Chain A
Amino acid sequence: MGMIDRVEVPRKVCPVIILADKSISMDGLPIGSENAAIEGILPELASMNKENPDAFIKFALMEFSTGVNWKTGIDGLVDPAEYKWVDLVADGATSFGLACKELNNKLSVSHGFMKQASGSMSPVIILISDGEPTDSYSVALAELKKNNWFKVAAKIAIGYGKANDKVLEEFTGNPETVIHTNDVQELKNLIKFVAITSSMVVSTGQATKSNTDTNADPDDTTSVVADALKQAQAALSDATDPGEEW
């Protein structure tokens, strides 16, 4: 190795995990919006990875209906630039409890997705749902809430249509990171906006509230993302003609 030869400075992995409801009530336009939005954020996440020397975003997508399935595979988090997108197909019920249980399993270094040589940053976990849970979720969610990765994660939920925002709030632990819409076009915009904003805030190291407030809990990543989302939403509503943008 010569004096000017280098290997990359190790980057922490920033896990971005999306839990996507694909129950039959999502059939039609909602699942189409969900697919388009999630597929659309992958190149954005890949582009952030090119620019950010501090963190490397890796991605996992869980689809849940009657059962759960990791669309991105069970081997772990994947590089968003390398993942080959396959659309979600709506069917079945809304087994939210099962999704919580499976997420809890995978938020683990020893038997889950979280073993990374250079370590991780706090995960970003995004839940998208359009209806009431059809299973008994309380025990699974309570267990998930004991998971240390879950505790420090930035948790955001997007509710569509008949989603029960109280349940989503139980999941995020913060009403400010539960966003609801009844508009299918807005659902697509929201998913993209929430995923990109929260991934950027966490992966660029802006998620430590102690940066600006030394009395704040430095591990309350969710509230920092809540602030960013709140402030960014004004800018979002400004963009009325997407045809004019580039």
Chain B
Amino acid sequence: MADIQTSIRKNQKIKLLNGQTVTVTGKIGEGGQGIVYRVKVDGTNEEKAMKWYFMYKINDPKSFCSNLADNVATGSPSETFVWPEQLTEVTNGSFGYIMEIIPDRYKALSKYLQARVSFKSCSAMVTAAINIVEAFQQLINKGYSFQDINDGSFKIDPTTGDVLICDCDNVVSFGKASGISGKARYKAPEVVRGDTLPNKVTDRYSLAVILFLLLVGNHPLEGARSNVPCMTGKYERRFYGQEPVFMFDEQLDVNRPVPGLHRNAIALWPCYPDFIRKAFIRSFSQDSLLRSEGRLIEQEWLMLLVRLKSCIVRCMNCGCEYFAESTIATACPDCMAYNTPPGYLRFDKKRTNVEITIPIADGAKLYEAELDERSKDYNTVSAEILVKPGKYGLKNLSKSVWEITAPGGKTVKKAPGEVAVLGTGFRIDFGNGVTAEIVANSR
């Protein structure tokens, strides 16, 4: 449909505001707001992407353009963001900007939601969730709001969980409106109701929706009640704005997932540890939906998600990855065998109000942010549970020397690369102010 909505031609030269020119070499894709072209920067031959707007989709082109110019000047919050680098001059009544080309290994979140792409491992999936939250944190810390947050905004590598955030042209400073009307499914109810413009708190709701879609595979507000024959504007306002109900609300059971329709949620929700289910129940409680209260801040999500990543273990029966609870039996989602870990590590301090316990089970890993209070690294493995016949060990993959004390008082040190045998009542001082105790589960 490009031929009827734009007049950019192949080989056309477009001037950038910094004086450089680019030559259009091909088309990359098309979205609701415009078309993305492949371009070469004249002189350097560097390949870039150029977004070119359908002007009629922009409510207030002047302020939209000025916001874009501000964002170009301020620069990207981090490498995760595919940020506007240079604006073009107005050409044939429209304009655009150039940015980096997204490598092919990144796939749009919308493809995951359509089950056309799937993660290669649980770890990649949770890493993607962590990366999304971190990106949000960076954005919010810079004073920006992501007003058009939706499934098209994220591109994810299914093998590593690496994330790129696209559509950064709709990012604005808090308190401003971007002129983009986003999708109701991703907007906070108070924005759908027209009570407020998007802000930090409404973005946190949208973040929770994205995380729920990513992990549980359905929309949190879409269940039996919202499954009307025709989703008219009135219904959209009601189900996403005025009377929203979470499909797993603890008090209201009117909007439960429908068998055959919301199959991911029905299959996967029971397989998540209690602390993750509680985080979503809180994120989509009536307090949150109707009064904007109780939404999780990014740091809470990060600690919950890294704890979730530490709970990924292999089923003793079928070898499938699943999320193990620390203290109770968990059903493997694939073979439905129940596994109970022999015990768990209980950390002495809560982190951002999140209690940390890690099941002792084959494959469980601890990450740097869990073993070092100052660390913001949620991906580097600092410890791993190992199994030998008759015993469990914890391998020190961190940079610190650990001190392990048995209940009888005997103390040993374990340097990086060494393995500490885990016994009931042992206390481990990981250094950096983090300590934990080994607790046995009753059998």
Name which of B316-324, B376-384, B426-434 contacts chain A: B316-324
Q: Does B349 contact A (CB under 8 A)?
A: no
Q: Which of B105-147 contact A (CB under 8 A)?
A: 110-115, 118-122, 124-125
Contacts of A6 in B (CB 8 A): 112, 115, 118, 217, 264
Residue A185 CB within 8 A of the other chain: no
Interface window among B230-238, B278-286, B290-298, B354-362: B230-238
Q: Does B69 have its Cβ within 8 Å of any Cβ on chain A?
A: no
Interface flags for A228-240 (1: CB within 8 Å of B; 0: not) read 1011101110110
A99 interfacial contact with B, CB 8 Å: no
Smallest Cβ distance from B28 to chain A, in angstroms? 12
B234:A119 contact, CB within 8 angstroms:
no
- Distance A44 CA – B27 CA, assembled complex (angstroms): 16
- Complex Cα–Cα for A217 and B55 (A): 25
Given contacts A3-B323, A5-B118, A230-B56, 8 further A-B contacts (CB under 8 A): A9-B264, A53-B151, A120-B229, A122-B231, A122-B232, A193-B4, A210-B236, A234-B56
The segment from B13-21, B180-188, B363-371, B394-402 found at the interface with A is: B180-188
Q: A196 an interface residue at 8 Å Cβ cutoff?
A: yes
Q: Is the C-beta of B42 less than 8 angstroms from some C-beta in chain A?
A: no
Q: Are B119 and A4 in contact (CB under 8 A)?
A: yes
A33 to chain B, nearest CB (A): 15
The 8 closest A-B pairs by CB, nearest first: A231-B56, A218-B233, A214-B194, A211-B181, A245-B3, A53-B110, A53-B113, A208-B233
A residues near B352, Cβ cutoff 8 Å: none
B121 touches A9 (CB 8 A): no
Confirm or deny: A128 has a beta carbon within 8 angstroms of a beta carbon on chain B: no
Is the CB of A54 closer than 8 A to any CB of chain B? yes
Q: How far is the CA of A210 from the CA of B54 in the complex (A)?
A: 21
Among residues of A, the one whose C-beta sits closest to the C-beta of B94 is A235
Q: Report the interface size for chain A: residues with CB under 8 A from the other chain.
A: 63
In-complex Cβ contact of A212 among B59, B261, B271 (8 A): B59
Q: Which residues of A contact B227 (CB under 8 A)?
A: 118-119
Residues of B at the A interface (CB closer than 8 Å) are 1-7, 9-10, 27, 32, 54-57, 59, 92-94, 110-115, 118-122, 124-125, 151, 181-185, 192-194, 213, 217-219, 222, 227-234, 236-237, 260-264, 267-268, 271, 320-323, 333-334
Q: How far is the CB of A142 from chain B (nearest CB, A)?
A: 21
**Chain A at the B interface: mostly helix, strand, loop or mixed?**
loop
* Cβ B5 vs Cβ A232 within 8 A: yes
Residue of A nearest to B56 (CB): A231
B271 touches A3 (CB 8 A): yes
- B1 — which chain A residues lie within 8 A by C-beta? 44, 192, 196
- In the bound complex, do residue B10 and residue A149 qualify as a contact, i.e. CB atoms below 8 Å apart? no
Determine whether A28 belongs to the interface, using a CB cutoff of 8 Å to chain B.
Answer: no
Contact with B along A179-192 (1 / 0, CB 8 A): 00000000001001
